[in-house]
Every structure is written in C-alpha cells, then in structure tokens.
Amino acid sequence: QKEVEQNSGPLSVPEGAIASLNCTYSDRGSQSFFWYRQYSGKSPELIMSIYSNGDKEDGRFTAQLNKASQYVSLLIRDSQPSDSATYLCAVNPRHAGGTSYGKLTFGQGTILTVHP
Amino acid sequence: DAGVIQSPRHEVTEMGQEVTLRCKPISGHDYLFWYRQTMMRGLELLIYFNNNVPIDDSGMPEDRFSAKMPNASFSTLKIQPSEPRDSAVYFCASSPRDTDNEQFFGPGTRLTVL
C-alpha cells in the first residue's frame, strides 16, 4: 500500500462546477496535511494546509480532513480553466522524536482539467 | 520577498560528467529540502537539512549523489558521475520552523544527461 494515494485522473469538470480531489494516507499518526498545485513545467505551489479534523476554507478552496478515515480532500468551487493543473497531496508523518516535523510524503498527483 | 532561488534552470550534460545544482533558500527558513521529480516516480525527497545540518539522506539514490549546506543561505546537490537515469527535475524547497513543515519550492533545475 502506498503511503499517500491519489486518483491520478485526469479529472475533467466544466467551468463553474465543483472539483473534488481526494487523498488517502496510511500512517494514522500523521500530523499535518497539505495541498500543492503544480502547473505543467512549473514547481509545486502550496495552496492549502490543514491540521485538525473538519473543513478549512480559503477563497474558492476548501480542504477537508478526516483522521479517523485517514483521508483528506480538496474542493474547488466555481472551477476556472486557470485551475487546470496537477494537484499534489502531501502528508507530514509521525515523527519518531515526538515532534511533528519530518519528511513530507507526496502522492502521485491528480490531473485536473477545467473545460470552458 | 524573494522566494527560493535555484541555478541553473536547465542543465544538459554528458554521461560521466559532474553536475552541481545550487539553491538559496528563503531567508530565515531553518529547513532545506532537495527533491527529484520524474514522471515514473513522482516527487521524491532526496535529503533535508535543519540549520545547515543534514538530518535525513535516506532518499539519496547512491554514492554518486552528495549534498552540502555550508551556510544558511546556500546549498548544493552534486552528482558525480552523472548517468542518463539521473535526468529529472530537481527542486529545492525551504520551510520555516513554526509552520509545521509548510514547504516553499524553488523553480527547479531540469537536468538532462545524454
């Protein structure tokens, strides 16, 4: 089982729709969770971070975390063609020393295409 | 404020040559990470530093790879000798201590080994 799993897609949604991206992780002790957006030929860009169960909203983006089910999701409302990119889920695993800092584990990414 | 700076942006070299990639992290960030990204393997962590000290190099593929961080504002990743399978995009990222590992990536170096 991969440590962080994402549906590779591509996920295609019409402009104005809600895009839903999902991610599951294997380490139950994981502490923090991130969504990165990566345009083709560019570097990953941090768009959301979430640390506790529930929803976190930032503009058109909502991150959802359910630690009991070990999944994290990203909702993009009113999707725009400019949202077309690969979305990477990243998980900060339990740190052996007891601190939350450690290596991020990235999923393979979900390709999102928003068509006009 | 300047982001993470990497150089060169593109590097084409021949098999067997030495390659040095450079990174300047965001000022004030305590952590520096080197990643490699390929289509097949995705984004892989190679090594990371905390306050210039290497913490975990378990992702370094083999002895041909080495990384240094002589001061808080500069790090290098060296491949010697390079091989075609090293062709990839290499990213450097940095993170401040108080954000629970929010990492900010540089533009990357696209390496092609012929």
Using one digit for the tens of pLDDT, what is the confidence trace for B76-97? 999 999 999 999 999 999 998 7
pLDDT tens string A52-96: 999 999 999 999 999 999 999 999 999 999 999 999 999 987 654
Q: Residue A100 pLDDT > 50, yes or no? A: no
Interchain contact, B43 vs A46, CB within 8 Å: no
Adjacent-strand bridge partners of B6 = B23
| Look-up of token digits 């996920």 | A11
| Look-up of token digits 């939350």 | A100
Selected residue of B4, B40, B48, B100 to mutate for chain A interface (largest A Cβ count, 10 A): B100
Query: CA–CA distance from A17 to each of A55, A83, A116 (Å)?
Result: 19, 11, 10
Q: Identify which of A43, A90, A100 has the shortest CB distance to residue B107.
A: A43
Structural contact between residues A21 and A73, judged by C-beta atoms closer than 8 angstroms: yes
- Measured distance CA(A38)–CA(A47) in Å, rounded: 10
Adjacent-strand bridge partners of B86 = none
Q: Residue A115 pLDDT > 50, yes or no? A: yes
* CA proximity to B78, closest of B68, B92, B89, B69: B68
Interchain contact, B91 vs A104, CB within 8 Å: no
Q: Which two tokens stand for residue B48?
A: 């990371």
Which 35-94 residues of chain A touch chain B by CB within 8 A? 36, 42-46, 49, 51, 88, 90, 92
- Measured distance CA(A94)–CA(A25) in Å, rounded: 12
- Across residues B18-36, what is the average pLDDT? 96
Q: Identify which of B45, B100, B104 has the shortest CB distance to residue A103.
A: B45
Question: What pLDDT does B1 receive?
Answer: 63
Interchain contact, B105 vs A45, CB within 8 Å: yes
Q: Is B80 helix (H, G, I), strand (E, B) or coil?
A: coil
Interchain contact, A32 vs B100, CB within 8 Å: yes
Query: Cβ contacts (< 8 Å) between A100 and chain B: which residues?
Result: 100-101
Adjacent-strand bridge partners of A12 = A113
Secondary structure letter of residue B83 according to DSSP: -
Structural contact between residues B75 and B22, judged by C-beta atoms closer than 8 angstroms: yes
Q: Is B98 helix (H, G, I), strand (E, B) or coil?
A: helix
Structural contact between residues A79 and A18, judged by C-beta atoms closer than 8 angstroms: yes
- Measured distance CA(A72)–CA(A68) in Å, rounded: 11
Query: CA–CA distance from B83 to each of A59, B44, B79, B91 (Å)?
Result: 45, 18, 9, 18
Query: Cβ contacts (< 8 Å) between B34 and chain A: which residues?
Result: none
Return the higher-pLDDT residue of A7 and A74. Answer: A74
